[in-house]
A and B are shown apart, each in its own frame.
Chain A
Amino acid sequence: MDTHEASLRERVTTALANKRQLVNIQVATDRFFSGRLNALETLPHADAMRDLARAIRAHTISRLDEYLLQFEQAFTALGGVVHWARDAEEARQIVLRIAQDAGVSRIAKSKSMVTEEIALNAALEASGLQVVETDLGEYIAQLSGDRPSHLLAPVLHLSRQDVGRIFAEKLHVPYTDDISELTAIARRNLREVFLAANMGITGCNFAVAETGTICLVTNEGNGRMVTSLPRVHVVIMGMERIVPTVKDLGVMLQLLPRSGTGQKMCSYTSLVTGPRRRGDPYAPQEMHVVIVDNGRSKALAGDLAEILYCIRCSACLNACPVYRTIGGHAYGGVYSGPVGSVISPVLGGLAAFPDLPHASTLCGACKDACPVHIDLPTLLLRLRRDTVQEGLSPAWTAAGMKGYAWVTRRYGRYRLLTALAGAVSRLARGRWLTWLPGPLGGWTRYRAFPPFAPETFQKRNRGGRHE
């Protein structure tokens, strides 16, 4: 058994030991899950809208080069600057250079998964820049030195008392566990951050090719602050975030919040279309978009390309029985849940995450929940195939499969095996088995194995008994 397998087990064991986190994840995912169903009911022709959204995503990805160039042209015409980054390191260097050229020192960030993916904060801080996360949950995570545990609810694993202690220790305020007071403390502190920041960094929910628009969806309003108050605005954009037209964006906006938090619209949907214009003092003087590849073009070249249709709503996390049991940290990557089990190996290499494709029951709840119908179970199966082909699966699974094939190819061997299984079951007197030998013990470690029927189907059939 390799170390990655062990580390997934360790991570899961750690996650299962945190009872508060387990309860909070259950409550949150239940709420998001039912919220999604209710919100979709309020959308006329929701199924047709999902089909349309899928068609738009599929079409866009199939012409991604053209739409990226169209976006570049439109955004440049607005006075913005487009940068292209092949990988995470190049993206970090680009942002550092923008910061140096603009002479900025204080950076306010709004929540963005792609900046986590390229580990941007650490690089900026290492260069002496101050970076503050301004989404309340991310701010708390940053203060406590913790990693976000859910795409939309980053500190799902903390209680109000935890947050009170973190604020008291890091912000030197009197301890309180009153959520309104805690929120007010964050508002006061972060308002100063917004006003003092000379650079804002955001991700991008969607980029509109025809207008050069960056669309950002937030509930708190930090996205609006970060995109309008600092002198420089830098957008880090995963290469596949494009939609062709404003009307396409309209379709996505009907589905994204409904599928994620169960809202019809989030509090603030910002369409940022270039930097400051004449007579318009309340917009950044400089705006940059960094288009990040970082493994996406490689994903495009194979039979996992469908994952690029994803709009990062998190519906599949909330629907997944595995995610609902273990939470986000156990996945070990920036992205968690079913989409994370595909994205992390696709972007970061299967060798780094050989166990993630197995962190799924393949029940299909993720596919049902996905607003753009991504066939996640099939993608997970293809990744499992790749782990075998790349020699990343444990030796005993290959040996076991060979042994199984050897037995079942000859009727005599097969009959012997079923007779043996029947004998074991008779010995167990119909009780469920709580111990199995060797690698089969992985099953009985956490649950019992049902006994085989004492008689095989064929034997019964020959005996003419029908129950």
Chain B
Amino acid sequence: MNEAREEILRRLRSGLRVGLLPGAAAEHPVLAFATQEGGAERFTIELEKLSGRVIRAQTRQDARRTVVDLFAEYGWKQALVWERTLREHPGLTEALQQAGVSLLTSGEITTLSHAPVGITGAQAGLADSGTLVLQNLPGQPAPMSLLPEVHVALLSARDIYPNLQNYLDALDSPAGTVSASSNTVFITGPSRTADIELSLTVGVHGPGKLVVILWDSE
């Protein structure tokens, strides 16, 4: 094992002395990016292009009502949900339960696998690609956005950044943020494939339907 490691490093170092590496600078290149335009409108346009659905809501309370309306519209009776989302949207638990929806915040994977809908928050949105950023943390497990056929995400408009670069630049420490979770995912539209005859088909392994409830202010 260690023998392999030492030999590979030795080969690497002797190779690096003679190898032709055009354009290689000794110093790491400087990364500087201009801030682009883009917020909730751009996010909505981009996600809708990918057949995602965006429902705008004005306040946190409106967002809660929108979730309940959505469940009534589709007749969903069961959902996985982040504990954190229930905490951040007071009254959501009661409102959904009154509407006859049973909620699961944890459980065995085999149980979670059968739920039709997952409700999550999102810690950021990227406008230019219609992307959601989610992290697997206690109270916000990753399977909720992956196993069900429908993913409903609640996103605050103030968490939308113009693009990936501007988002990473805005973080105190991108490495610190990524290191905080065993699994960070950038979700851009529903699960999709074009493997059979290049025909676009959604919902192959992850959710085939993605609904973002985008709310503007308190």
Contact = CB atoms under 8 A, between A and B. Distances in A.
Interface of A: 24, 27-28, 31, 42, 44-45, 52, 54-56, 58-59, 61-65, 68-69, 78, 83-86, 90, 134-137, 140, 153-156, 158-160, 163, 179-180, 182-184, 186-187, 190-191, 194-195, 208, 210-211, 213, 219-222, 224-225, 227-229, 239, 244-248, 250-251, 253-254, 263-277, 279-283, 291, 293, 297-306, 375
B8 A270 contact: no
Given A224-B142, A306-B21, A160 B196 contact: yes
B190 to A, nearest CB: 7
Given A280-B137, A306-B21, A182 B196 contact: yes
A190 B3 CA distance: 39
Contact of A65 (B12, B109, B129, B189): B12
B164 A248 contact: no
B179 A273 contact: yes
B19 to A, nearest CB: 4
Nearest to B138: A279
- 7 shortest A-B CB distances, which residue pairs? A221-B206, A137-B195, A300-B15, A301-B15, A297-B11, A62-B24, A279-B138
Given A224-B146, A246-B178, A306-B21, A297 B12 contact: yes
A150 to B, nearest CB: 10
A222 B205 contact: yes
A64 B175 CA distance: 20
Interface in B20-66: 20-29, 31, 34, 36, 46
Nearest to B131: A265
Contacts of A44: 34, 36
B182 interface: yes
A224 B206 contact: yes
B78 interface: no
B185 A270 contact: yes
Interface in B150-181: 163-165, 168-169, 174-175, 177-179, 181
A363 to B, nearest CB: 21
A140 B193 CA distance: 13
A134 B196 contact: no
19 contacts: A31-B198, A61-B21, A136-B193, A137-B196, A155-B195, A159-B197, A182-B196, A183-B193, A183-B203, A191-B113, A250-B164, A267-B192, A275-B182, A280-B137, A280-B141, A281-B141, A297-B8, A298-B15, A306-B22
Nearest to A283: B182
Nearest to B135: A271
B182 A52 contact: no
Given A281-B106, A297-B12, 4 more contacts: A55-B23, A153-B198, A186-B204, A247-B31
A407 to B, nearest CB: 34
A171 to B, nearest CB: 15
Contacts of B177: 246
A219 B5 contact: no
B185 A268 contact: yes
Interface residues of B, number: 78
Contacts of B20: 302-306
Given A85-B4, A86-B8, A27 B113 contact: no
A324 B78 CA distance: 48
B143 A228 contact: yes
B136 interface: yes
B31 A248 contact: yes
B25 A84 contact: no
A227 B36 CA distance: 33
A180 B183 CA distance: 30
B21 A272 contact: no
A280 B136 contact: yes
A300 B198 contact: no
B62 to A, nearest CB: 28
A221 B205 contact: yes
Which of B13, B196, B204, B206 has the most chain A CB atoms inside 10 A of its CB?
Answer: B196
B35 to A, nearest CB: 10
Nearest to A136: B195
B195 A280 contact: no
A219 B192 contact: yes
B94 interface: no
Contact of B28 (A59, A179, A186, A250): A59
A179 B201 contact: yes
Which of B13, B46, B143, B188 has the most chain A CB atoms inside 10 A of its CB?
Answer: B188
B29 to A, nearest CB: 4
